Amino acid sequence: MVPVSLRILTQALRDGGTVVLSGAGLSTESGIPDYRGPSGRARAARPMTYQAFTGSERARQRYWARSHLGWRHMTGATPNAGHRAVAELQRRGLVTAIITQNVDGLHQAAGRSMRNAAAAVTELHGSLHRVVCLSCWQRTSRAELDERLRAANPDWEFARGVILPPGLEQEQQAGGPAVNPDGDVALEETSGFTVVDCLACGGVLKPDVVFFGENVPRARVEACYAQVRAASSLVVLGSSLTVMSGLRYVRHAASLGIPVVIVNQGETRGDELAAARLDAPLGETLTAVLAELVS
């Protein structure tokens, strides 16, 4: 027998006008870990805060060294069945907008493989694929920065496709530094890493993502509110809704009488507001729903 919650999800998508709110749980099947889901509960990693990054040259050195290593892993990640299902639902006009808390660009990558799919993606927390200068606010590509960091750190060697600082070869052979959810690696010794500055003005470069302790730009917040107001349903995929940046849209939808359906492995802060709740793997569930809708 098909669970009632799965039938509600399928019907919500069949009716169209759905806005998707996605979180890190959607990308775990692509090999990108999360902080709070099943793959993240045992991790003690603490994310970089905006205050630490802007207030300490040493903190920036630590961040960029670790992030430079992790960039190999992030660029190697590919969309999984969940991303592809969402892109197909959008291509068919059943999903009208995607609001993602993820910074990995996998929604867009899934859409590029399908004509006119995944065009309407709002990156609530920004993207690791861009870099912003905190002085002149010029945005440049992360790929360009990666080349500059390689040139500035010639003693860091490649091993099995991952850049390593001198003397870390044994750690990589044993499985390598662990990759954290924000795309950096659990590397303790970073003092030998050279950080580069903005080419335009010499200012401090930061990934174009919203760090912990930093606010999502107001215009972006309001644009997402407008998308939710226009929705027939809000479907949450792979988010614990622990942080307010995502939870506020669930609360907003519920206050307007817009049905909320949550698919996540583990409890969320929005469960009591949901019309239906599924604790299930994202890729498998979304693939099954898509098959039902197109049959």
Domain layout of the chain by residue ranges: 1-32+79-125+214-295, 44-76+130-209
What token pair was written down for 225? 């509110």
Q: Residue 184: what pLDDT?
A: 65
**How far is residue 91's CA from residue 100's CA, in Å, rounded to a whole number?**
17
Yes or no: domain 1-32+79-125+214-295 corresponds to CATH 1.10.540.10: no
Asked if 91 and 116 count as a contact pair (C-beta separation under 8 A), the reply is yes
Residues of the chain with pLDDT under 50: 39-44, 158-175
Residue 90 Cα distances to 94, 103, 197, 205, 206, angstroms:
6, 19, 39, 34, 32
What token pair was written down for 138? 């010029």
Q: Residue 180: what pLDDT?
A: 61
Q: Residue 75: what pLDDT?
A: 86
From the candidates 68, 83, 107, 125, which is the catalytic residue?
125
Q: Residue 2: what pLDDT?
A: 61
Q: Residue 176: what pLDDT?
A: 53
Query: Is there a catalytic annotation at residue 73?
Result: no
Q: Residue 34: what pLDDT?
A: 75
What token pair was written down for 12? 């919500």
Asked if 101 and 128 count as a contact pair (C-beta separation under 8 A), the reply is no
Angle of CA points 22, 69, 170, to nearest 5° = 125
Q: Residue 186: what pLDDT?
A: 63
pTM of the model: 0.88
**How far is residue 132's CA from residue 138's CA, in Å, rounded to a whole number?**
6
